[in-house]
Amino acid sequence: MTESGLSPRLSIVTLGVANVAKAKAFYEALGWRPSSASQEQIIFFQLSGVVLALFDRNHLADDATVAPAGDGFRAVTLAHNVGSEAEVDAALAHAERFGARIVKPASKVFWGGYSGYFADPDGHLWEVAFNPFVSFDEAGRLVLPGPVA
């Protein structure tokens, strides 16, 4: 815990989905396995250092006490970093095989890496990226360079 009471940590990303069973099937088709903590109305996937949850969009909006409307750009993307350009291409092709829509084919990007985007069946945007300026730890978690001095 920090003095402010908010440690720099992200524990769970919850995606509001139109159909929990359909969303679960999509992520399982990608090769991800739900946690035994999952229930019919909420599915949990243990990712590298964070949990991805799938929950009914309307129920999620009710829980946050906000309107569920809005199908346009949500100003949020999720990123899946890999170790090479070839892995980006393979990951995008894999996602597309199981129902993802390729939003932006992989290409060299302005910041020196290589990335593309797919949308899951509910339109959540995933960037698949190779960033030559970062590395991964032994658990496969992304490691950024240290803080600015």
CA distance 141 to 54: 22
Query: What is the pLDDT at residue 4?
Result: 61
Q: Collect the ranges in the chain with pLDDT lower than 50.
A: none
Query: What is the pLDDT at residue 139?
Result: 86
Query: What is the pLDDT at residue 129?
Result: 94
Q: SS3 for the chain, per residue? A: CCCCCCCCCCCEEEEEECCHHHHHHHHHHCCCCECCCCECCEEEEECCCCEEEEEEHHHHHHHHCCCCCCCCCCCCCEEEEECCHHHHHHHHHHHHHCCCEEEEEEEECCCCCEEEEEECCCCCEEEEEECCCCEECCCCCEECCCCCC
Query: What is the pLDDT at residue 113?
Result: 95
Query: What is the pLDDT at residue 35?
Result: 96
Query: What is the pLDDT at residue 145?
Result: 76
Query: What is the pLDDT at residue 131?
Result: 93
From the list 61, 95, 64, the residue with the least C-alpha distance to 80 is 95
Question: Please, is 104 exposed, middle or buried when counting C-beta atoms within 10 Å of its C-beta (0-12, 13-18, 19+)?
Answer: middle
CA distance 27 to 78: 14
